[in-house]
């Protein structure tokens, strides 16, 4: 069975979630059935409520093969900087939701956060629901040393993502909700398997769908393994240690 490393999952309650991942045990049980051996995850509260308190919850929930994803946020008066939060040293991945949290990645307040990510060589996960393709293009162009992972690609995205990925070698795509018919095969042929990594989008999306799209693609086993596992552990060695 090909092992999978999931770079896009959350733990906690969501009212309209298609799958139940309310606890780490719920998530790890579901992932084990699918062959997911390591995952970078955040608490749903960090995404959908308050990032600062959500980060504290993420830090507590990341156990077993789960490793924390820190949610970036510019600090308000009276808040400690996110780089001073306990999760900062342990997180294997950073993410941001500027759209739903009401801030701007191009604002000067984001500069220290992005500088810190570059210094620590930590990738940044961004959803197209929070930053559109022109915004992703500008960010990746302004920060060539920062690896940016794009999630929630959606359906019929090729005409938007191809020119941006051609221009920005530091921009990589995740399989989360990449539901274009034979899109994964087309992506590998024209952009390369090294630019695509596995993400499930759990619990916003059913992780079984993400596994099935890759497992039942027309790609050979070596390429499937590269996307499902090898690219992630090369980018984030700490997840490779968990996956052993």
Q: Residue 133's domain is classified under what CATH number? A: 3.20.20.140
- What does the alpha-carbon distance between residue 114 and residue 104 come to, in Å, rounded to a whole number? 12
* Per-residue buried b or exposed e for 103-113, using 16+ beta carbons within 10 Å of the residue's own CB: bebeeeebeeb
Per-residue pLDDT, 196 = 98
- What does the alpha-carbon distance between residue 169 and residue 192 come to, in Å, rounded to a whole number? 11
Using the structure block, give the residue that is written with the tokens 């990032």: 51
Which residue range is the domain that position 99 belongs to?
A: 4-243
Using the structure block, give the residue that is written with the tokens 């051996």: 37
Per-residue pLDDT, 240 = 87
What are residue 202's DSSP bridge partners? Answer: 9
Per-residue pLDDT, 231 = 98
Per-residue pLDDT, 156 = 84
- Counting the structural domains of the chain, the total is 1
Per-residue pLDDT, 233 = 97
Per-residue pLDDT, 106 = 87
Global pTM? 0.95
Per-residue pLDDT, 79 = 83
For strand 4-11 and strand 124-127, is the pairing parallel, antiparallel, or unpaired? unpaired
CA torsion sign for 210, 96, 134, 100 is: positive
- What does the alpha-carbon distance between residue 11 and residue 13 come to, in Å, rounded to a whole number? 7
- 10-residue mean pLDDT profile of the chain (244 residues): values are 95 80 88 95 94 93 91 88 92 95 91 94 95 95 97 88 96 94 94 97 93 94 97 95 76
Per-residue pLDDT, 96 = 97
Question: DSSP states of 213-237 as a string?
Answer: HHHTSSS-HHHHHIIIIIHHHHH-H
Distances (CA, A) of 102 to 50, 72, 105, 107, 232: 11, 12, 10, 12, 30
- What does the alpha-carbon distance between residue 150 and residue 173 come to, in Å, rounded to a whole number? 5
């Amino acid at each position: 069975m090909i092992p999978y490393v999931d770079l896009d999952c959350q733990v906690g309650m969501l009212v309209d979630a298609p799958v139940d991942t309310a606890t780490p045990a719920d998530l790890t049980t579901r992932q084990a059935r699918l062959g997911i051996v390591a995952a970078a995850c955040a608490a749903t509260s960090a995404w959908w409520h308050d990032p600062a308190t959500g980060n504290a919850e993420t830090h507590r929930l990341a156990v077993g093969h789960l490793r924390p994803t820190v949610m970036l946020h510019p600090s308000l008066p009276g808040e400690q900087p996110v780089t001073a939060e306990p999760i900062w040293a342990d997180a294997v991945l950073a993410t941001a939701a500027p759209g739903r949290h009401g801030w701007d990645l191009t604002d000067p307040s984001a500069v220290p956060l992005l500088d810190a990510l570059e210094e620590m060589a930590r990738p940044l996960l961004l959803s197209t629901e929070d930053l559109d393709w022109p915004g992703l293009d500008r960010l990746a162009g302004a920060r060539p040393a920062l690896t940016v992972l794009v999630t929630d690609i959606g359906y019929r995205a090729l005409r938007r993502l191809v020119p941006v990925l051609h221009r920005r070698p530091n921009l990589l795509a995740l399989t989360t909700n990449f539901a274009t018919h034979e899109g994964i095969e087309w992506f590998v042929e024209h952009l390369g398997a090294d630019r695509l990594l596995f993400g499930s989008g759990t619990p916003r999306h059913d992780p079984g769908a993400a596994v099935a799209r890759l497992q039942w693609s027309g790609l050979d086993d070596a390429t499937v393994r590269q996307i499902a596992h090898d690219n992630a552990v090369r980018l984030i060695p700490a997840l490779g240690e968990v996956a052993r």
